[in-house]
Amino acid sequence: MKNQSKKSKSKQPRTEMPRGLYFHVPFCLRKCPYCDFYSVAYAKQATEEYVRAVVRNLHAVGTGELIDTVYFGGGTPSLLCPEQVKDILAETGKAFTLTDPEVTLEVNPAAHRELADYCAAGVNRFSVGVQSLIPKELSLLGRLHDAAEAEQTVREAVRTGARVSCDMMIGLAGQRQADLLYTAERLLKLGAKHLSAYLLKIEPTTPFSTREFSTVSQDEDGQATLYEVLCDFMCRQGLRHYEISNYAVPGEESRHNLKYWQCGEYYGIGPGAHSFVDGCRFAAPKDLSVFLQREQQEKIVLETQVNSAQEYLLLGLRLDKGICFTELQQLGLDAGNLKKLARKFETAGLVRGFPEGFALTERGFLVSNAVISRCLEAVEAL
Ligand code: SF4
């Protein structure tokens, strides 16, 4: 582990795309039993120290380069008050060049404030952690908000004129197709133009992995059916299923998240935040007190020489536009074996081929881990 030094400041991203900036805001009112993101209990004073540490780090890594997406994720970023978000964005503007940035703030319906004040601070996109509008599902998930509060937050977010995305959960025990579609339809009616729908996954270190919660999730078949029902519904509503778990009215896709999936680079600030700079992936330790104490956040190097071709396959196949054989060739690979494999998957209904490349189908998205690892093996075998 070593501190990022000013000497190693990067001037140019490797891709044509400007880099993004991610802030991990590690505070929550209460830990949800399924969540393994790094967070600690909210304390006002700690948020003040956190903002000071973020500003130190911004100036330590800031190069003046162009940044076109900023994302406040967590944790619960809406536990920072609008003034704190404004201070961070003002310092971001001094450390980097912000040109027409997409600025997203994750909002927890149980911890929302006056959302218009965040817009005045520079936020132009909200991601609301709704999860469900069905009371028994919210209670199963141990969420602090109820359906009425979630609806009110979405309504208020839409009213600000900002772009609005909502998170939904698929595959909870007892979740019926009608329940899932009720939540999706209601959120769209309220004005959300982007939905992220995640299959409930039991993470090993969370309370949901214990025996007490052994029945919270549906089995694989149940989850698969719900996933397909939702895909079909979203498609009929005119939303583009542009990534495995993400749907958007065309033009409303998340620019920041697309950067991740298109192998773009980004800076990450905050405990547990990941960065991808100059082809190197690294993370800050998941420890708020270390983050607050240090002049500059430590970096744990995860990967020094990212394999661009592998990354392109791994991430590109998450997207509806898939991958292109010419791009693979430009990354130095002969795609011959992959083309043969893609034809086999096409026969099985898992991919759809087009002259320049291929993409996963909805069924392929459901088994994406297996399909993508077979594709990676085919490339490695060359
Ligand atoms: S799901 Fe969101 S609110 Fe709940 S513990 Fe995780 S980060 Fe915090």
Domain CATH number, residue 148: 3.20.20.70
Residue 129 CB less than 6 A away from ligand 1: yes
Q: Residue 348: inside a domain, yes or no?
A: yes
In a domain, 372, yes or no: yes
d(CA 247, CA 318): 12
pLDDT score of 1: 32
Q: Of 206, 230, 261, which one is at a domain's C-terminal end?
A: 261
Q: Does a structural domain hold residue 292? A: no
If we measure between CA atoms, which residue out of 163, 100, 161 comes closest to residue 127? 163
Q: Yes or no: say if 110 and 145 are a contact pair by the CB < 8 Å rule.
A: yes
The pLDDT of residue 14 is 54
Task: Say which CATH number the domain at 326 has.
Answer: 1.10.10
β-partners of residue 247 are 195, 241
Same domain, 228 and 92: yes
Residue 381 pLDDT = 54
Question: CB 53: neighbour CB atoms within 10 A?
Answer: 22
Cα 219 to ligand 1 centroid, rounded to whole Å: 24
Strands 27-28 and 40-41: parallel
Atom of ligand 1 nearest to the CA of 106: 2
308 close to ligand 1 (CB < 6 Angstrom) = no
Q: Is the pTM of this model over 0.75?
A: yes
Cβ atoms of 338 and 378 within 8 Å: the answer is yes
Residue 270 lies in a domain: no
Q: What is the pLDDT of residue 207?
A: 87
Are 122 and 65 members of one domain?
A: yes
Does the beta carbon of 122 lie inside 6 Å of ligand 1?
no
Domain of residue 235 covers 13-261
334 and 249 inside one domain: no
Q: Are 236 and 359 within one domain? A: no
> Which residues in the chain land under pLDDT 70?
1-15, 380-382
What are the distances in angstroms from CA 365 to CA 133, 181, 248, 266, 345? Answer: 25, 19, 16, 26, 12
Q: Is the same domain home to 195 and 342?
A: no
Look at residue 334 in the predicted model and tell me its pLDDT: 77
Q: Is 280 part of a structural domain of the chain? A: no
Q: Residue 87: exposed, middle, or buried by beta-carbon count in 10 A (0-12, 13-18, 19+)?
A: middle
Q: Is 185 within the bounds of a domain?
A: yes
N-term to C-term CA, the chain:
35
Work out how many domains the chain is built from and give that number: 2
- Same domain assignment for residues 250 and 341: no
Q: How far is CA 362 from CA 232, 340, 381, in A?
A: 9, 21, 27
- The verdict on residue 286 lying in a domain is no
Give yes or no for residue 131 CB within 6 A of ligand 1.
no
**Cα 156 to averaged position of ligand 1 atoms, centre (Å):** 21
> What is the reported pLDDT for 157?
97
Does ligand 1 come within 6 angstroms of the Cβ of 35?
yes
Q: Are residues 79 and 198 in the same domain?
A: yes
Ligand 1 mean position to 68 CA, how many Å?
26
H-state helical runs in the chain: 44-61, 82-95, 115-121, 135-140, 147-159, 177-190, 220-236, 255-261, 288-293, 308-316, 325-330, 336-347, 362-366, 368-380
- Distance in Å, CA 31 to ligand 1 centroid: 6
- Which pLDDT score is estimated for 111? 78
What's the pLDDT score for residue 7?
Answer: 35
pLDDT for the residue 380: 65
The response to whether residue 31 sits with its C-beta less than 6 Å from ligand 1 reads yes
Choose the final residue of a domain: 227, 261, 295.
261
**Predicted local distance difference test score (pLDDT) of residue 6:** 35
Whether 65 and 197 share a structural domain: yes
**Domain end among 205, 230, 261:** 261
Distance 55 CA to ligand 1 centre (A): 24
Co-location of 182 and 318 in the same domain: no
* Distance between Cα 272 and ligand 1 center (Å): 14
Q: Which of 23, 35, 78, 127 to mutate to test the pocket of ligand 1 (most atoms within 8 A of CB)?
A: 35
158: left (phi over 0), alpha (psi -120 to 50) or beta: alpha
Same structural domain, 237 and 320: no
CA–CA distance, 23 with 206 (Å, rounded to integer): 23
What is the reported pLDDT for 328? Answer: 87
Does any domain span residue 244? yes
Does 231 lie in the same domain as 162?
A: yes
What is the position in ligand 1's atom list of the atom closest to the CA of 129? 2
Taking the C-alpha atoms of residue 78 and residue 39, their distance in angstroms, rounded to an integer, is 13
Distance 339 CA to ligand 1 centre (A): 41
For residues 207 and 104, membership in a common domain is answered with yes
Q: How far is the CA of 129 from the centre of ligand 1 (A)?
A: 9
Report the nearest-CA residue for atom 6 of ligand 1. 35
Phi, psi (degrees; rounded to nearest 5) at 106: -75, 135
Secondary structure (3-state) at 154 = helix
